[in-house]
Amino acid sequence: MSVFSLNGQRAVVTGANTGIGQAIAVGLAEAGAHVIAAGRRSCAETVAAIHAVGGSAEECVMDLADPAAGAAVLSQLGDLDILVNNAGIIRREDSVNYSEADWDDVMDVNLKAVFVLSQAFAKQALARGAAGRIVNIASLLSFQGGIRVPAYTASKHGVAGLTKIFANEWAAQNINANAVAPGYIATNNTEALRNDPQRAADILGRIPAGRWGDPTDIAGAVTFLCTPAAKYITGTILNVDGGWLAR
């Protein structure tokens, strides 16, 4: 079997109903995995896209606004080999005016859910002595401060830290934990930026690749990290940013 094959693997992708999550789900399925597309809204479109390319998939309702409930759902899905923590939200406001409610909402989905889902996944894998792959979706704001997104920035710094501690604690038990840090990708989350002519021009001018990223650019990196080809990679945050951080 190819070291780039995921045949026989069962994967969960959170936030898989659209954008980056949907692309990741399709990418994993194309590599041979059976994909459980999880989201707070229906992932029927994602499942249909996977079936259209000959893949295997099902959908699962998982609202990570309540991280503990999401972890409980994960624990009921049976044996799992791959967990992709992609679900995330963003709330924009000047830091001086940022509300506690927005802070809590963002941290619950973007950081607490990553911890409790990864914990549930690892418990399950360790109990049966199985290998596992965790890929967290970080951000350029795992390294930079950003503007008007204090909770998002804090949460994505936290995702980078969790990725490293998971690697430290679980690598010897064959559970690899890595993160992919997308650059500026054309998704719903960046629509406000792309609709601001000045911000959009400033961003594009710094990207050496000369374009905004596509969700499939992230899917390829995530899929690679889940394959046997990446078995000795753990604790890494892989930037997929068109060269943004190199500029």
Please give the model's pTM, rounded to 2 decimal places: 0.97
Nearest 10 degrees: CA dihedral of 138, 62, 190, 149?
Answer: -60
Could you read off the pLDDT of 231-241 as tens digits, one per residue? Answer: 999 999 999 99
Could you read off the pLDDT of 112-157 as tens digits, one per residue? Answer: 999 999 999 999 999 999 999 999 999 999 999 999 999 999 999 9
The answer to whether 185 touches 193, Cβ cutoff 8 Å, is no
* Active-site residue set: 152
Q: Show the domain range for 176.
A: 10-246
Is 198 among the domain residues? yes
Is 131 among the domain residues? yes
Q: What is the pLDDT of residue 1?
A: 73
**In which band, very low, low, confident or very high, does the pLDDT at 5 lie, cut at 50, 70 and 90?**
very high
What whole-number distance in Å separates Cα of residue 112 and Cα of residue 115? 5
Q: Treating both helix axes as pointing N-terminal to C-terminal, what angle do 100-107 and 150-170 enclose, rounded to 10 degrees? A: 30
Is 4 among the domain residues? no
Split into its structural domains, the chain has a count of 1
Q: What is the pLDDT of residue 154?
A: 98
Could you read off the pLDDT of 35-85 as tens digits, one per residue? Answer: 999 999 999 999 999 999 999 999 999 999 999 999 999 999 999 999 999
Residue 218 has pLDDT above 90, yes or no: yes
Is 26 among the domain residues? yes
Is 3 among the domain residues? no
- ∠ CA 134-114-50, rounded to 5°: 60
Is 2 among the domain residues? no
Give the chain's end-to-end CA distance (angstroms, integer). 39
Is 58 among the domain residues? yes
What whole-number distance in Å separates Cα of residue 207 and Cα of residue 211? 7
**In which band, very low, low, confident or very high, does the pLDDT at 27 lie, cut at 50, 70 and 90?**
very high
Is 5 among the domain residues? no
In whole angstroms, what separates CA 210 from the centre of its chain? 24
What whole-number distance in Å separates Cα of residue 186 and Cα of residue 188? 7
User: What is the residue-averaged pLDDT of the chain?
Assistant: 97
**In which band, very low, low, confident or very high, does the pLDDT at 170 lie, cut at 50, 70 and 90?**
very high
Query: Residues 160-184: what's their mean pLDDT?
Result: 98
Q: What is the pLDDT of residue 188?
A: 82
Domain of 153, CATH number, reads 3.40.50.720
* E-strand stretches of the chain: 10-14, 34-39, 56-61, 82-85, 132-137, 175-182, 237-240
In whole angstroms, what separates CA 66 from the centre of its chain? 18
Q: What is the pLDDT of residue 190?
A: 86
Burial classification of residue 54, based on how many CB atoms lie within 10 Å of its CB (0-12 exposed, 13-18 middle, 19 or more buried)? exposed
